[in-house]
């Protein structure tokens, strides 16, 4: 049917040969197809030639409403808030059907009023707005500087950082090393579902993050749903947490560690040891060398990859198999020869396990011993992502050049757990 003068975002009713359809028109590059988001949330594409008639039920109107942060409530203790993007700082764009970043951070108050009843959000800092898959160390430095500024405000009890989920555990790990002498809570949180969806996890995550930021736990923690229900969150140490599900609300799990606390919208129940809050100024140590790589070993992988990395990088984390293995002396694919050569030339090679849970151990099989003899550093129960940011941070300190291996094996921010919990 010609003359369908709909605009993206319009709510329309279409008459097709056998039925009528209501939905919101979505932006679509294919001009001969009308893309519609149905009330069910599903998107359907309808060839325009199949549309017999159509009319607008409600024109799209840009949401120009101005939002204002609530007035400070002097009865409440204060926290700082750093907003960096991701789903938690996004909303559904009716014209595209996709999730788009908030443009006005004071919309937070509109979307998340409960957090403002728990704490007085004294200051909101927005260093950038980006999806976390687009982040790099320069973003980590910006977050670090924003957090440091807020931590050193004597009226602020703790800082909440909202962030995309995909690479949230890299940021929680690197902040743990940036603020090794932390004196207040730094709490990272997220949302798997944007706030405008009924199943959004954002509200509970933020309320629990605010509760944790008001606690006496002076650590970098990640707070998020502890189950798929909307009942409680876990606060997990920033160096022992990983995203383990693409969409579930309890996507983040504690790895080789127990959560520090079970957190509710109105209280915090500590379940394992943590560093306690103390006075003093925080001085972030934001050194970072980008010349580090993280590579997952796969069957048959050619060791010549080491020639490339040794030429361009200062160090590498290899996610080896099982207890930390790479092929050694079998059918010609012997990695130990190249490892020995490049390590002798100063290239740092550390190994973690693709098993994620458990600890690497070079002494069970002869392969492990040969890798150890070649100079590979076995990183205990450390997560590969944590190892990656730790190596970049350590190599960022010129003065530690001679003892990188010792520093990697020093337990600086809870990244190494001598005694693994029964998972």
290 catalytically annotated: no
Handedness of CA 410, 260, 388, 138 (dihedral sign): negative
388 touches 295 (CB < 8 A):
no
Indicate the residue among 105 and 268 with the shorter CB distance to ligand DAS.
105
- For the bound state, the minimum distance from the C-beta of residue 88 to ligand DAS, rounded and expressed in Å, comes to 6
Instruction: Please state, in angstroms and rounded to a whole number, the distance separating the CA atoms of residues 127 and 81.
Output: 11
Q: Which of 165, 171, 239, 386 is catalytic?
A: 165
Phi-psi region of 300 (alpha: psi -120 to 50; beta: other; left: phi over 0): left
Residue 358, Cβ density class (10 Å: 0-12 exposed, 13-18 middle, ≥19 buried): middle
For residues 299-337, b (16+ Cβ closer than 10 Å) or e, as one string? eeeebebbeebbeebbbbbbbbbebbbbbbeeeeeebbe
Q: Does 252 bind ligand DAS (CB under 6 A)?
A: no
Q: Distance of alpha carbon 178 from its chain centroid, rounded?
A: 16
Site string for ligand DAS, 311-350 (x = CB under 6 A): ----------------------------------------
- In the block, tokens 């941070």 appear at 393
Distances (CA, A) of 351 to 156, 209, 234: 40, 33, 29
| Interface region with ligand DAS, contact rule CB under 6 A, candidates 145-153, 160-168, 298-306, 388-396 | 160-168
Q: Is 264 helix (H, G, I), strand (E, B) or coil?
A: coil
Indicate the residue among 130 and 289 with the shorter CB distance to ligand DAS.
130
Among 107, 157, 166, 201, binds ligand DAS (CB under 6 A): 166
CA atoms within 13 A on the CB side of 214: 24
Indicate the residue among 99 and 282 with the shorter CB distance to ligand DAS.
99
371 touches 322 (CB < 8 A):
no
- For the bound state, the minimum distance from the C-beta of residue 225 to ligand DAS, rounded and expressed in Å, comes to 13
Q: Does 133 bind ligand DAS (CB under 6 A)?
A: yes
Q: Which of 84, 87, 162, 352 is catalytic?
A: 87
- For the bound state, the minimum distance from the C-beta of residue 407 to ligand DAS, rounded and expressed in Å, comes to 29
Indicate the residue among 87 and 336 with the shorter CB distance to ligand DAS.
87
- For the bound state, the minimum distance from the C-beta of residue 98 to ligand DAS, rounded and expressed in Å, comes to 11
- Number of residues this chain uses to bind ligand DAS (CB under 6 A): 9
| Interface region with ligand DAS, contact rule CB under 6 A, candidates 30-38, 164-172, 210-218, 402-410 | 164-172
Indicate the residue among 245 and 296 with the shorter CB distance to ligand DAS.
245
Q: Does 200 bind ligand DAS (CB under 6 A)?
A: no
153 catalytically annotated: no
Q: Does 158 bind ligand DAS (CB under 6 A)?
A: no
According to DSSP, residue 75 is labeled T
87 catalytically annotated: yes
Indicate the residue among 132 and 207 with the shorter CB distance to ligand DAS.
132
Among 120, 162, 165, 386, binds ligand DAS (CB under 6 A): 165
Site string for ligand DAS, 217-236 (x = CB under 6 A): --------------------
- For the bound state, the minimum distance from the C-beta of residue 232 to ligand DAS, rounded and expressed in Å, comes to 21
Q: Could you write out the three-class secondary structure of 242-275? A: EECCCCCCCCEEECCCCCCEEECCCCEEECCCCC
Among 112, 140, 190, 286, binds ligand DAS (CB under 6 A): 190
Instruction: Please state, in angstroms and rounded to a whole number, the distance separating the CA atoms of residues 376 and 374.
Output: 6
Among 54, 127, 164, 284, binds ligand DAS (CB under 6 A): 164
According to DSSP, residue 71 is labeled P
Q: Which is nearest to 350 in space by CA: 385, 304, 312? A: 385
Q: Which of 10, 37, 91, 166 is catalytic?
A: 166
How many helical (H) and strand (E) elements, i.e. helices and strands, does the chain have? 10, 21
Contacts of residue 154, defined as CB under 8 A and 6 or more positions apart, other chains included, come to none
Q: Does 131 bind ligand DAS (CB under 6 A)?
A: yes
User: 67 to 96, contacts with ligand DAS by CB under 6 A?
Assistant: 86-87
Structure tokens at 302: 């050619």
CA dihedral defined by 152, 154, 156, 159, rounded to 10 degrees? 20
- For the bound state, the minimum distance from the C-beta of residue 208 to ligand DAS, rounded and expressed in Å, comes to 17
- Of all residues in the shown chain, the one whose CB is closest to ligand DAS is 164
Indicate the residue among 131 and 175 with the shorter CB distance to ligand DAS.
131
Q: Is 49 helix (H, G, I), strand (E, B) or coil?
A: helix
171 catalytically annotated: no
Instruction: Please state, in angstroms and rounded to a whole number, the distance separating the CA atoms of residues 143 and 187.
Output: 12
Q: Which residues are catalytic?
A: 87, 165-166, 243
- Interface contacts to ligand DAS, rule CB under 6 A: 86-87, 131-133, 164-166, 190
């Amino acid at each position: 049917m010609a003359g369908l003068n709909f605009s993206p975002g319009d709510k329309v009713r279409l008459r097709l040969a056998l039925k009528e359809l209501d939905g919101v028109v979505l932006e679509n590059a294919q001009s001969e197809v009308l893309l519609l988001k149905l009330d069910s949330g599903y998107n359907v594409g309808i060839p325009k030639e199949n549309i017999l008639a159509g009319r607008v039920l409600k024109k799209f109107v840009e949401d120009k409403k101005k939002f204002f942060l609530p007035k400070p409530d002097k009865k409440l203790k204060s926290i700082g808030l750093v907003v960096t993007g991701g789903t938690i700082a996004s909303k559904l764009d009716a014209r595209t059907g996709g999730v788009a970043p908030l443009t006005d951070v004071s919309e937070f108050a509109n979307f998340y009023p409960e957090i403002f009843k728990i704490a007085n959000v004294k200051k909101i800092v927005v260093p950038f707005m980006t999806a976390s898959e687009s982040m790099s160390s320069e973003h980590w430095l910006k977050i670090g500087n924003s957090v440091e500024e807020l931590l050193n405000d004597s009226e602020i009890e703790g800082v909440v950082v909202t962030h995309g989920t995909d690479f949230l555990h890299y940021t929680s790990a690197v902040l743990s090393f940036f603020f090794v002498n932390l004196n207040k809570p730094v709490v990272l949180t997220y949302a798997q579902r944007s706030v405008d969806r009924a199943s959004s996890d954002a509200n509970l995550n933020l309320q629990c993050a605010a509760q944790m930021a008001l606690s006496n736990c002076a650590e970098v923690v990640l707070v998020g749903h502890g189950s798929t229900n909307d009942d409680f969150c876990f606060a997990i140490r920033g160096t022992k947490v990983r995203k383990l599900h693409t969409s579930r609300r309890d996507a983040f799990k504690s790895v080789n560690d127990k959560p520090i606390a079970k957190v509710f919208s109105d209280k915090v129940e500590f379940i394992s040891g943590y560093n306690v809050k103390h006075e003093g100024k925080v001085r972030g140590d934001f050194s970072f060398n980008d010349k580090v790589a993280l590579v997952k070993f796969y069957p048959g992988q050619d060791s010549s990859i080491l020639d490339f990395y040794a030429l361009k990088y200062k160090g590498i984390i290899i996610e080896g198999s099982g207890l930390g293995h790479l092929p050694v002396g079998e059918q010609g694919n012997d990695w130990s020869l190249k490892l020995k050569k490049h390590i002798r030339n100063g290239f740092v090679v550390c190994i973690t396990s693709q098993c994620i849970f458990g600890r690497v151990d070079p002494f069970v099989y002869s392969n492990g011993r040969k890798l150890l003899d070649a100079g590979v550093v076995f990183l205990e129960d450390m997560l590969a992502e944590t190892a990656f940011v730790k190596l970049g941070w350590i190599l960022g300190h010129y003065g530690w050049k001679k003892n990188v291996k010792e520093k990697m094996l020093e337990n600086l921010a809870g990244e190494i757990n001598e005694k693994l919990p029964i998972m």
